[in-house]
Amino acid sequence: MATQPLKLPSLKGKVIAIDGPAGAGKSTTARLLAERLGYTYLDTGAMYRAITWLALQGDIDLADEDKLGRLARGVPIEFKREDDQDKIYANGEDVTTVIRTPEVTRNVSQVAAHKKVREAMVVRSRRLPQSVRL
């Protein structure tokens, strides 16, 4: 049963960030809150995973901060809600499943550790309106 989004004008233009340790229920809470507020659920971890997957596919050295930073700034990343599922697209390709592979999981921390990648991800996430960020 779908819940009707709340109309809270005092939240217009606001961002809600949820932080905490692994396994605490952040994703579940963020998804439910986003749905209830009519916001887009933005999983920033998925953004880092998408960049990692693209870097691995493109044989980019994961120690090369400059190349990874350019990739993070330049590649189109989109979040979409399709068939009651949150999807992530990179370069127009649905990467929702492939970014959760063990290879990406093993390497995402190395990619996310680069300052230029983090800066690009912050800029990107701030451009997305009405988002609940995790």
Mean pLDDT, range 115-122, rounded to an integer: 94
- Among 30, 28, 35, which Cα is nearest to 6's? 35
Higher local confidence (pLDDT), 33 or 42:
33
Mode of pairing for the β-strands spanning 16-17 and 85-90: unpaired
Domain annotation covers residue 21: no
pLDDT bracket for residue 134 (50, 70, 90): very low
Share of the chain above pLDDT 70, in %: 83
| Residues 65, 120 contacting (CB under 8 angstroms) | no
Inside any domain, residue 28: no
Q: Would residue 4 count as lying in a domain?
A: no
How would you list the strands of the sheet with 77-82, edge to edge? 77-82, 85-90, 93-94
Output the pTM of the full model. Answer: 0.77
Residue 109 included in any domain: yes
Q: Is residue 12 part of a domain?
A: no
Q: Identify the pLDDT of residue 78.
A: 86
Residue 62 lies in a domain: yes
Ramachandran angles phi, psi of 128, nearest 5°: -85, 120
User: How many structural domains comprise the chain?
Assistant: 1
Structure confidence by residue, pLDDT tens digits, 36-91: 877 767 788 899 999 999 999 999 999 999 999 999 999 998 888 788 777 899 99
| CATH number for position 116 | 3.40.50.300
Q: Which domain holds residue 123?
A: 44-127
Residue among 119, 133, 114, 127 nearest 55 (CA): 114
Does 82 map to a domain?
A: yes
Residues paired with residue 85 on neighbouring β-strands, in sequence order: 82
